[in-house]
Amino acid sequence: MCAAGRRWGRRERAVLWCVLVSAWEAAWGQLRYSVAEEMPKGSFVGDVAKDLRLDLPALRHHDLSILDKGRTQHFALHGKTGHLVTAERLDREQLCRLVEKCVLRCEVIVEGEMQVYGIEVEITDINDNAPSFREAETEVRMSETTAPGSLFPLAEAHDPDVGPNSLQRYELSGDEHFSLAVQAGPGGAQRPELVLAKALDREEAAFHELVLRASDGGEPARTGTARIRVAVLDANDNAPMFSQAEYTVRVPEDVPVGSVLVTVTAADADEGLNGHVKYSLKKVSDMASQVFQLESETGAITLVRSLDFEEGDSYELKVQAEDGGGLFDTAKVAISVTDVNDNAPELTVSTALSEISEDAPSGTVVALLHVQDRDSGANGEVRCSIAERVPFRLERSFEDYYRVVTASELDREAVAEYNVTVRAADGGSPALWSSAVLALRVLDVNDNAPVFAEARYSARLPENNAAGALVLTVRAADADWGQNARVRYRLSEGRVRGAPLSSYVSVQAETGALYALRSFDYEEVREVGLWVRAEDGGAPALSSNVSVRLVIVDENDNAPQVLYPPAAAAAAAAAGAGWAGVELAPRSAEPGALVAKVVAVDADAGQNAWLSYELAKATEPGLFRVGLHSGEVRTARFPLARDAARQSLVVVVKDHGRPALSATATLTVVLAESVAELLSELGSAAAAPGEAAGSLTRWLVVAVAAVSCLFLAFLLLLLALRLRRWRRSQLLAAGSGALRGVPASHFVGIDGVRAFLHSYSHEVSLTADSRKSQLRLSGGSCCDTLPARPPPDEPAPLLGEDPAGARRADPAAPPQAQPNTDWRFSQTQRPGTSGSQNGEEGGAWPNNQFDTEMLQAMILASANEAADGNSTLGGGTGTMGLSARYGPQFTLQHVPDYRQNVYIPGSTATLTNAAGKRDAKSAGSSGGNKKKSGKKEK
């Protein structure tokens, strides 16, 4: 039981060891498979995707492929299944001539992961080759004196297969004189030798025919045969002998073709034909037979093809020296090839990027490289480096694979394209190297804002420029590329004198040209400051601003303006009217005395505003002079008696512009010693009216005549109205008998009617300006003159009703007051034209015909009343209070309330009954004393 447990433990450990080895190999990216030779194309070798633990759906994204190194591809990889298959029929003997274990290597790259995996495939041997001899027929010469037991080497058979399928045994048939002996050589090789078993007798048989058969160990076994003919010779007792049993030669691989590598020599003591030695190669490989050649007469071994240490580093030859009698000797020649640095490193770009963004982070993989050197030792040690000073570095990836990664941030504006040269050099002396160039274009990122060519711009623009004139051009450059470098210009918001900046100037978005949209006036705007923004086309866009200063240059477009004397004063002085523009100069003034000063200004600036004064015209030339720059008018000499008292001076004011503009000022200087003399002079001048004064007088006369005509027409119209009213009063007087039975107290006198009408009159005053009017209501109140009409719900007695019934209807009426002799109004309180104060007041008369007739009847009855009757207006509620003898039968209901018919021109206000009611209450409480009321109204 214990023994079984120990065996089981060893088995578990072996299995565990195999699993660990497999896991270690998989972790280091190494896969191993085996496949038999001579398999048809497309035969399955191994499942690479499964062994690399790659999901089948992700294979399209990973892009699994076999690296191409420029050599024959023996395997292929299915992209969909991940299976490794044979790309052609494989022959182990052809692929691995000198190697017993035939292993082919390839590399698989996963593009998405930038990872490389190594694969080793062992080509297993099958028995597809039979043993073969180099010569199908061989002749062996033996002396008849050869002693039995002598050994004669035979040509060896060659079988390319290995292992059990290789050559296993020899068999000899054909004659009893000979037997076969097989000797074991180094490495397990078998050397067939012919053994003379029985003495020869040339007389019995001059030739012996033998068959040598070689067999391998395959199933079924394959065989090869060689015919051996033994010629029996006469006796030759001395065999050739080599000078040494083994020749060793070391030659460099770069030895030229045709060179003699070594010469073998053998001596034979015999003479004649038996002493003539010839050399031949008895055992040589196919490769060696193609590289070396043995001279049969001299024994010189020459090089017929270039040596390559990488193909073969050692060769072993077996040379035989044979004399003419058939005796021979053998020697071994070992040729060692030393490595020479004759192979430059092979640098292959497995995968590489063609473009990279400039904002790629440091460490981004750009390319994957593979390097190898076929030399050995120090000659095969390769060192990779990047020659230029570029922001890239090399990192070792897997065995002989390197990655090119970014070492720092990239800047497209500094370098837009990189040609990265990777150099691989070996350790030979002199060193050999090779290089690969990686062309990499840097993609732009919008990381640069536009930059203006100048820190600030300024331009001078003459005023009165044409609208649309080009002022200046701003330019900004963007270090980016493409759309990110496309710059557009626009104005920042601003205002000039309260107006938007865009109404003054504009900028062309593409070119940056700044245009003036209007004509500038230096006197209004002297300087315009603005900001222009340049913005690129990136996302997000970057921008920068620059200040632009436009200085408006003044032009001489404003003539001087004379402030004193003013233009109106000068004109008036020239016309001889008034005091305007007149200066007084005493006749006793000395030369240089200041008379006046012309004051002028110019709206321009600079030289255009420099003013100069000169006297252009004078009544007496030489009497006055003008200061060139001050404008002061001074006397140039003493005034003379013959000089006119009134001097007119014309002063020209000029600026210094080009062309110069000018203005004139006219001064009137009176030569007088006193103000009285000045007034006398001015009066005499005004006594002679001119043509303009005569025209004004004519218009005034016409205006007065027109006003007079209008006034006369108004008087005639007023007279006609008076006559008409007088005629109506005469007609009413004839029919006054119908009112004789009415009490006289129900009527009012003419003065009372006038007072009634005056209470509703209004006063209108007109100014001389026909567009203005003034309306003023009379300040007097009618409350104490006429009580309001009784409410509509109280019945009004008609004419002819019984006074007693009226009294019964109003039992609460107060007793009638005594007559008052002071009831009459003054002349100024009476309404109408005759009683108005200013002759402009007029009463408001009723328009209803019935009311008019009733009022005329009352006036007629009042005319018949005695002059001493009581005219108090407060005789009772609802009556006029004319006289107590008429009784209260005649009420105010028979007299209409004319306040309803009065309107104010230019206003919507009317006199209402509410005021009348308020006045009636006041009248009732006053007790009939109307004298005070009249005074108050006054």
**720-748 pLDDT, tens digit each:** 999 988 888 888 666 544 444 444 444 34
Q: What is the mean pLDDT of residues 437-463?
A: 92
User: Which of the residue ranges 72-86, 394-408, 627-641, 758-772 would you say has the lowest mean pLDDT?
Assistant: 758-772
Q: What is the mean pLDDT of residues 35-57?
A: 84
CA angle (902 as vertex; 900, 904 as ends), nearest 5: 130
Strand partners, 611: 655
Q: How confident is the model at residue 883 (pLDDT cuts 50, 70, 90)?
A: very low
- The total of other beta-carbon atoms located within 10 Å of residue 307's CB is 24
pLDDT at 868: 40
Nearest C-alpha neighbor of 417 from the set 441, 434, 433, 436: 441
DSSP string for residues in 801-860: --HHHHHHH-TTPPPPPPP-TT-PPPGGGS-STTT-SSS--B------HHHHHHHHHHHH
Nearest C-alpha neighbor of 574 from the set 679, 650, 652: 650
Cα gap 436→351, rounded to integer Å: 12
pLDDT at 134: 86
Q: What percent of the chain has pLDDT over 90?
A: 28
Q: How confident is the model at residue 376 (pLDDT cuts 50, 70, 90)?
A: confident
- Write out pLDDT tens, residues 403-423: 999 999 899 888 989 999 999
Cα gap 165→274, rounded to integer Å: 42
Residue length of the chain: 938
Rounded to 5 degrees, φ, ψ at 18 are -60, -40
pLDDT at 569: 53
pLDDT at 229 over 60: yes
- Dihedral angle over CA of 790, 796, 800, 804, nearest 10: -80
- Write out pLDDT tens, residues 600-609: 999 888 888 8
Q: How confident is the model at residue 915 (pLDDT cuts 50, 70, 90)?
A: very low
pLDDT at 914: 38
Strand partners, 762: 777, 842
pLDDT at 791 over 50: no
pLDDT at 861: 53
Q: What is the mean pLDDT of residues 601-622?
A: 90
Token look-up 């005594």 returns 818
User: Which of the residue ranges 112-121, 280-289, 883-892 would you say has the lowest mean pLDDT?
Assistant: 883-892
- Write out pLDDT tens, residues 654-706: 999 888 999 999 999 998 887 777 777 666 655 444 445 556 777 888 888 89
- The total of other beta-carbon atoms located within 10 Å of residue 744's CB is 20
- The number of angstroms, rounded, from the C-alpha of 734 to the middle of its chain's C-alpha atoms is 109
Q: What is the 3-state secondary structure (H, E, C) of 45-114?
A: EEEHHHHCCCCCCCHHHHCEEECCCCCCCCEEECCCCCEEEECCCCCHHHHCCCCCCEEEEEEEEECCCC
Q: How confident is the model at residue 760 (pLDDT cuts 50, 70, 90)?
A: very low
Close Cβ partners of 34 (under 8 Å, ≥ 6 residues apart): 121, 122, 123, 124
- Write out pLDDT tens, residues 805-846: 333 334 344 444 444 444 343 443 333 333 333 333 334 444
pLDDT at 731: 80
* Mean of per-residue pLDDT scores for the chain: 75
Close Cβ partners of 378 (under 8 Å, ≥ 6 residues apart): 426, 427, 428
Q: Is 341 left (phi over 0), alpha (psi -120 to 50) or beta?
A: beta
Q: How confident is the model at residue 854 (pLDDT cuts 50, 70, 90)?
A: low
pLDDT at 497 over 50: yes
pLDDT at 849: 47
- Write out pLDDT tens, residues 546-601: 999 999 998 888 899 999 888 755 555 444 443 446 888 888 889 999 999 999 99
Q: How confident is the model at residue 456 (pLDDT cuts 50, 70, 90)?
A: very high
Q: What is the C-alpha R_g of the chain?
A: 75
Cα gap 475→375, rounded to integer Å: 62
**Residue 896 carries which side chain, given as an amino acid letter?**
P
pLDDT at 57: 67
Cα gap 242→318, rounded to integer Å: 12
Cα gap 293→356, rounded to integer Å: 59
pLDDT at 453: 93
CB 893 within 8 A of CB 797: yes
Residue of higher predicted confidence among 120 and 163 = 120
pLDDT at 764 over 80: no
Tokens standing for 530?
A: 């603005």
Nearest C-alpha neighbor of 783 from the set 613, 575, 930: 930
pLDDT at 200: 85
Residue of higher predicted confidence among 891 and 144 = 144
User: Which of the residue ranges 76-80, 332-336, 624-628, 921-925 would you say has the lowest mean pLDDT?
Assistant: 921-925
pLDDT at 857 over 60: no
Q: Is 386 exposed, middle or buried (0-12, 13-18, 19+ CB in 10 A)?
A: middle
Close Cβ partners of 926 (under 8 Å, ≥ 6 residues apart): 784, 874, 933
Nearest C-alpha neighbor of 440 from the set 523, 370, 499, 358: 358
Q: What is the mean pLDDT of residues 173-191?
A: 83
**Residue 10 carries which side chain, given as an amino acid letter?**
R
Cα gap 450→476, rounded to integer Å: 6
Residue of higher predicted confidence among 801 and 246 = 246
**Residue 827 carries which side chain, given as an amino acid letter?**
Q
CB 262 within 8 A of CB 249: yes
Strand partners, 420: 438
In what helix (H) or strand (E) does residue 219 lie, and over which residues does it extend? none
